[in-house]
Every structure is written in C-alpha cells, then in structure tokens.
Structure 1
Amino acid sequence: MSTVVLDARDAHELAGFYRRLLGYEIRSEEPDWVLIGSPSGAEGVSLAFETERAYVPPVWPTRAPGDQQMMLHLDIEVDDLEGETARAVSEGARLADYQPQDDVRVLLDPSGHSFCLWTPAAP
C-alpha cells in the first residue's frame, strides 16, 4: 500500500495539518487534491486529501443509527503521548470525548477524522 486518501471540505487545509503533525512534505498538489509524504529518503505511507464539497464528518464513537460512520482511522506511534497530544491540539486537532485506553489518545483532525496517538505498552 502506498497512499491513504481522506476526503475533506478543504484538501489543502487538512493536508497542512497532517504535514505539520507528521513532518511530511508536499509531493503533489492540484486545486482539489494534495499528496504528502515522508521526507525524501524516508519510508512511510503517503497521505492524500481530496476536496469533497458535500463532506460530512464522521461521528466517533457512533452513537445513533444514521450517524455518519467512521470508515478508517490513522494510528500514529509516539514516544511522548502527553507532549504529542498537546502538540496535535496546538496544530488544530481536538481531543475526543471518549478515551478507551490509557496508552492511546483519540483525537479528531480539523475535518473530524479520528486518529490515535499511541505508545507501546511497557514490557
């Protein structure tokens, strides 16, 4: 797999958020499409963002029939869970109301997609 694509009301805004969060670089951009990836020479899955004017943010966790269902979420491993959570929030994410685990933080990006910051469990 090379790329994960996320829809958004504004592809450029969401790409900017993940570019800052992950330290990624812009690989390609068009008026309604942006592709970002890890810095040159580094491995990793690229992210692409497509403007969808009728985009409806998912609800997490789903609470009622008919809620816009989450289709996927991104897991991002970090060394400092609290520090990286604070940094993600400062970049425009918001902490989800429901937090299911102590070693994971569920956040919502500026378009409402959920993503998780996590640390490996201590041995």
Structure 2
Amino acid sequence: MTNRWVGVTIDCLDVERIAGFWSALLDRPRTPSRPGWVYLGHPGDPQPRLTFQPVTEPKHAKIRLHLDVAVDDIDQGIAQVVALGGRFTGERHDYDEGVVVVMADPEEHEFCLVHYY
C-alpha cells in the first residue's frame, strides 16, 4: 500500500471569500465541488488540492499546521496578500536559507511566505 498526500482542507465561515483569496494568491482555479464547499484543483493534480469546508464556529487559536507559500520577492508577496484582504502578522524570520514571514488570510488562518536564497 502506498500512502500519498492529496490535499488540505480549510474550515471557513465564508467559504467563497476564503477560497477566492487562496485562488487568487496561488493562481489556482476552482474545480467542481460539493454544494457549499469550494475545491481548488483535483486529487490527481501535481499540487495538493485545497478544499474549503463551511463551518459555523470561528477560529479561536493559532492553528498547529500551516501552508508555506514560496515567493520570488518577499515584499511583493506581502503586498499581494494584503491587497487580497489578508494581513502581515509582523512576524519575520531571517535564516541563512532565506526569509519567512507569517501572514494571515481574511479569516486569520496563518500561513508563511517563504523566499529562499
């Protein structure tokens, strides 16, 4: 038996808004989805599919798993996230390999922008 990673599911109050944010940020189109849900990609795609699942309760604490999004320019990446309705948390880490900044989408799901040298 071979196990493989095929996707990530993100709980959302406003599925359309959050899926739209991630679709624009990652340049991934919507694909046919269950009613009320939004999928970006298919299970067999080279990149894992993102699934946006409706929930009724807001996020209350820092999530323990997050996405890393590679960018060519960290400042342009931050500006793009902000223009799409997300925010820069103010947390930045500079390493020998590159830079990592912690961002949040419009519902405060944290993720990192990474720029490798």
TM-score normalized by the length of structure 1: 0.79
Percentage of identical aligned residues: 31
> Which whole-Å CA distance do the structure 2 matches of 1:119 and 1:100 have between them?
11
> Which whole-Å CA distance do the structure 2 matches of 1:28 and 1:116 have between them?
27
Cross-structure match for 1:77: 70
Higher strand share: 2
Cross-structure match for 2:33: 29
Of 49, 52, 56, the match for 2:55: 52
Unaligned runs of 5+ in 1: 58-67
Structure 1 residue 120, shift from structure 2 partner: 1.0
Residues 98-113 of structure 1: pairs in structure 2 closer than 5 A? 98-101=91-94, 103-113=99-109
Considering only aligned residues, what root-mean-square deviation do their CA atoms show, in Å?
2.0
> Which whole-Å CA distance do the structure 1 matches of 2:12 and 2:36 have between them?
10
Q: Which amino acid aligns with 1:47?
A: L
Cross-structure match for 1:92: 85
Of 3, 6, 16, the match for 1:2: 6
> Which whole-Å CA distance do the structure 2 matches of 1:14 and 1:7 have between them?
9
> Which whole-Å CA distance do the structure 2 matches of 1:56 and 1:32 have between them?
19
- Mapped contact 2:91–2:101 kept (Cα < 8 A): no
> Which whole-Å CA distance do the structure 2 matches of 1:85 and 1:56 have between them?
22
TM-score normalized by the length of structure 2: 0.82
